[in-house]
Amino acid sequence: MTTFWDEALIAKYNVKGPRYTSYPTALLLRSGYPIERALTALKNAGSALSLYVHLPFSRELCYYCGCNKVISRDTSKADRYLDNLAFEMQTYQAATRHQTVQQLHFGGGTPTFLDETQCMVSATRNLEEFFARESCGFCTPCRDGLPWAVKALKALEDGTGKKEDIDHLQELTRKLWIGKTFCAHAPGAMEPLMGALKYFRSEFEAKVVDAAARTSNVEQA
């Protein structure tokens, strides 16, 4: 008789356990949860890290999902959530430096809920902030160039940037490229910036147009 199931394996996992989708787990996740507990757990965890990213937005109601969900066709509602997600990633960053991501899972509306309306300037700024924080500061181009890129992207993002900022960002991708810095960190940081400027330059330029329009309206008032 052929055995199709490993009885030892079934017995191993035939126990009650917490939901795998989050830490803190769903039953403990509440306002006022001490962040120190989450950071301590991450610091004491093993070297392998498994990530689950759940976006609680969907265009249609799914009766299978038992998680918190928001039904909408307005993808801009995800912008605030993505900002908070970026903040959470920054919060956990230091506690997970000793770990390597072995598994990455997406659930909920991810990635189908997001579309081209999501702001690529904000997404690029978030990536460059990560690279700027992780710079060792050994060489000048990386030490000074990456924070300047973040500053320019923030200005464009909040509507105070200028067209010259876009040109300077483009120039920066050449000055921090391969062979211009001590290691590959800065060139690695330039890759997403180069891609964003190449394929989504219109979004960067639209930020400058919006800023100019607001300035003109204030002067007319």
pLDDT of the residue at 163: 92
Higher pLDDT pick, 220 / 152: 152
87-134 pLDDT tens trace: 887 888 888 878 877 776 767 765 567 776 678 898 888 888 888 888
Q: Are 163 and 205 in contact (CB under 8 A)?
A: yes
- ∠ Cα 12 14 15 (to 5°): 100
Q: What is the mean pLDDT of residues 132-144?
A: 88
Closest CA to 58 of 50, 68, 45, 49: 68
Type and span of the H or E element at 106:
strand 100-108
Tokens of 65: 């999902």
Q: Residue 119's closest CA among 159, 68, 88? A: 159
Domain 120-220 has CATH 1.20.1440.230: yes
Amino acid at 66: G
Per domain, the residue ranges of the chain are 15-108, 120-220
Q: What local confidence, expressed as pLDDT, does residue 218 receive? A: 47
